[in-house]
Copies of this chain bind each other. A is one copy, B any other.
Amino acid sequence: MSLLTVGTVAFDTITTATAKAERVIGGAGSYSGWAASFFHTPVNLVSIIGEDFPQETIAEMEARGIQTEGLERVLGKKSFFWEGEYLADFSSRTTHATELNVLADFDPQLPQSYLSSEYVLLANLTPAIQKSVLTQIGSSAKLTVLDTMNFWMDTALDELLEVINMVDVLTINDEEARQLSGKHSLMEAATKILTMGPRYLIIKKGEHGAMLFSNDGIFSCPAIPLAKVEDPTGAGDCFAGAFLGYIAREQSTSFDTLKKAIVYGSVVASYCVEEFSLDRLKSLEWSDVEARYEMLVDMMTV
């Protein structure tokens, strides 16, 4: 009855049209683990950090039920670092720096206690590492979710396709779905991607919500209309973490459960973008999550 997430635990420097955050905590592992922990613990975190990563943040994670036995610290080296800048309307971003640091040699060996993880999130990371984790987990997994991005389609497509073929759920954004399938229509893109292995495809559309495609049907979830976005970094990771966290809590992989999980994923993502880093997640209460869940359900009730 445990959930595992593998992804970066790192530092980000982020510039938006109105503010800048320097070397704040980021990474797909941080965001997805934190988001999942609202719904289900323990969260078995798999990642790697350098000597520079604050012990205080690790203690905060542990206090939330995020297990860090699989969080490897390399002394004498630095944590993964990403620096980027968003356009004023957040429609695109420019990467100014990517320092792999400890990530360059990351080859995770899962702790014994992680090997029975039933719900597995392969958050955005090198496809080779995602595959290694999946292989170590083996057949204990009840639902495997792969999050990825266009960068891996450009640089490691063959390895990525191999992992895509091994998982139950793939989550990507609309442009990535078009790139992966070579089809412009999202309906045609989804039909094609569902022949590549996954039983479920989630297409994330930012302010336009998210769609779930499967042979069981299609579900469309709107996004919470937000008056202000501070920083969209981590929204997709939070979505995936909350999505799988809810499924782990419900102990169900039915289509109905997946639909509700998408609504919860959208809710946590909508809070994440209101502040930099994990700041909004840290102040988030369960009652906040429930309030926006009700709001979203209300928005789609005809």
Task: Specify which chain B residues have a CB less than 8 angstroms from the CB of A187 in the assembled complex.
Answer: 225-227
CA distance A229 to B301 in the complex (A): 27
Contact A185 B298 (CB under 8 A): no
Contact B188 A302 (CB under 8 A): no
Contact B225 A218 (CB under 8 A): yes
Task: Specify which chain B residues have a CB less than 8 angstroms from the CB of A263 in the assembled complex.
Answer: 302
Could you tell me the distance in whole angstroms from the C-beta of A234 to the nearest C-beta in chain B?
A: 19
Task: Specify which chain B residues have a CB less than 8 angstroms from the CB of A191 in the assembled complex.
Answer: 227
Question: Does A158 touch B at the CB level, under 8 Å?
Answer: no
Task: Specify which chain B residues have a CB less than 8 angstroms from the CB of A186 in the assembled complex.
Answer: 207, 225
Q: Tell me the nearest residue of chain B to A212, going by C-beta.
A: B299
Q: Tell me the nearest residue of chain B to A213, going by C-beta.
A: B225
Total number of A residues with any Cβ neighbor in B under 8 Å: 34
Contact A302 B227 (CB under 8 A): no
CA distance A297 to B300 in the complex (A): 9
Contact B225 A211 (CB under 8 A): yes
Contact A225 B299 (CB under 8 A): no
Task: Specify which chain B residues have a CB less than 8 angstroms from the CB of A260 in the assembled complex.
Answer: 302
- Which single member of B185, B207, B209, B302 contacts A228 (CB below 8 Å)? B185
CA distance A297 to B217 in the complex (A): 12
8 tightest CB-CB pairs across the interface, nearest first? Answer: A220-B222, A208-B208, A187-B225, A300-B300, A187-B227, A220-B299, A259-B302, A89-B184
Some 23 contacts from A to B, beta carbons below 8 A apart, are: A88-B184, A185-B228, A185-B229, A186-B225, A187-B227, A188-B228, A190-B225, A191-B227, A205-B208, A208-B208, A208-B209, A209-B222, A211-B225, A217-B299, A218-B225, A219-B299, A222-B222, A259-B302, A260-B302, A263-B302, A297-B302, A300-B301, A300-B302
